[in-house]
């Protein structure tokens, strides 16, 4: 009643900007019908009567959250990631590891080859040599990754932000690229941005 009314040009400009922003973002799902929305709201407001209903609702809520996290990790989206994967330092660690080939990511296939070689008695010398070479290369490459990652993360971020990032990067480097979650967002050899 006592408020000033906005000028018509400014109001239309604001609503046009808002409309463009909403169209660009989108909500990713269809709008529910009024009947469905009211039924869902009433179901949420109605308290559970038995312990079974409480457990069922809790289980359903946990399943929905797990589904969101799983989809987010598979898509590489940062929206619903678990807390251990959130933040710019963890994003940098993932991108740093994913932008290079690591010997440790091939460790599982190499161990399978070594296991197969151990069944052939004539090739036990080859098996021992492959085993020693695998251990040496993995150790050297992991130390090189450790040194380079520590240097880069210290250069880009504050010391208070980088706690646990090195272990996170080393653990990710030991996983096969196809099995890493969240999915890799950079390709091999890609130059990383300076700011995250």
How high is the mean pLDDT of the chain?
Answer: 86
pLDDT at 79: 77
Are residue 77 and residue 105 in the same domain, yes or no?
A: no
Are residue 73 and residue 133 in the same domain, yes or no?
A: no
Bigger pLDDT: 192 vs 18? 192
Are residue 92 and residue 70 in the same domain, yes or no?
A: no
pLDDT at 92: 95
Are residue 92 and residue 159 in the same domain, yes or no?
A: yes
Specify if 128 maps to a domain. Answer: yes
Specify if 127 maps to a domain. Answer: yes
Are residue 105 and residue 141 in the same domain, yes or no?
A: yes
pLDDT at 70: 86
Specify if 185 maps to a domain. Answer: no
pLDDT at 5: 61
Q: What is the pLDDT of residues 12-69, one digit of tens each?
A: 455 666 656 656 566 677 888 999 989 888 887 888 788 998 898 899 999 999 998 8
Tokens of 33: 């019908």
Tokens 């208070």 -> residue: 160
Tokens of 79: 């929206």
pTM comes to 0.69
pLDDT at 11: 47
Tokens 């008695």 -> residue: 121
pLDDT at 101: 95
Averaged pLDDT for residues 65-77: 83
Q: Where are the beta strands (DSSP E) in 57-120?
A: none
pLDDT at 39: 87
Q: What is the pLDDT of residues 119-132, one digit of tens each?
A: 999 999 999 999 99
Are residue 57 and residue 93 in the same domain, yes or no?
A: no
The domain in which residue 145 lies consists of: 87-179
Specify if 122 maps to a domain. Answer: yes
Total number of domains constituting the chain? 2
pLDDT at 4: 65
Phi, psi (rounded to 5 degrees) for 163: -65, 125
């Amino acid at each position: 009643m006592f408020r000033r009314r906005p000028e018509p040009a400014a109001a239309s400009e604001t609503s046009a900007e808002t409309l463009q922003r909403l169209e660009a973002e989108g909500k990713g799902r269809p709008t529910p019908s009024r009947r469905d929305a009211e039924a869902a709201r009433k179901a949420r407001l109605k308290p559970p009567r038995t312990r079974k209903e409480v457990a069922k609702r809790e289980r359903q809520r946990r399943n929905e959250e797990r589904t969101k996290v799983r989809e987010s990790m598979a898509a590489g989206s940062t929206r619903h990631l678990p807390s251990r994967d959130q933040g710019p330092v963890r994003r940098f660690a993932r991108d740093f590891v994913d932008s290079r080939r690591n010997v440790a990511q091939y460790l599982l296939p190499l161990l399978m080859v070594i296991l197969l070689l151990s069944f052939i008695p004539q090739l036990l010398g080859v098996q021992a040599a492959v085993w020693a070479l695998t251990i040496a290369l993995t150790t050297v490459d992991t130390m090189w990754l450790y040194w380079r990652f520590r240097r880069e993360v210290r250069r880009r971020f504050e010391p208070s932000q980088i706690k646990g990032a090195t272990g996170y990067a080393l653990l990710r480097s030991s996983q096969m690229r196809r099995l890493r979650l969240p999915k890799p967002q950079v390709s091999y050899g890609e130059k990383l941005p300076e700011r995250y």
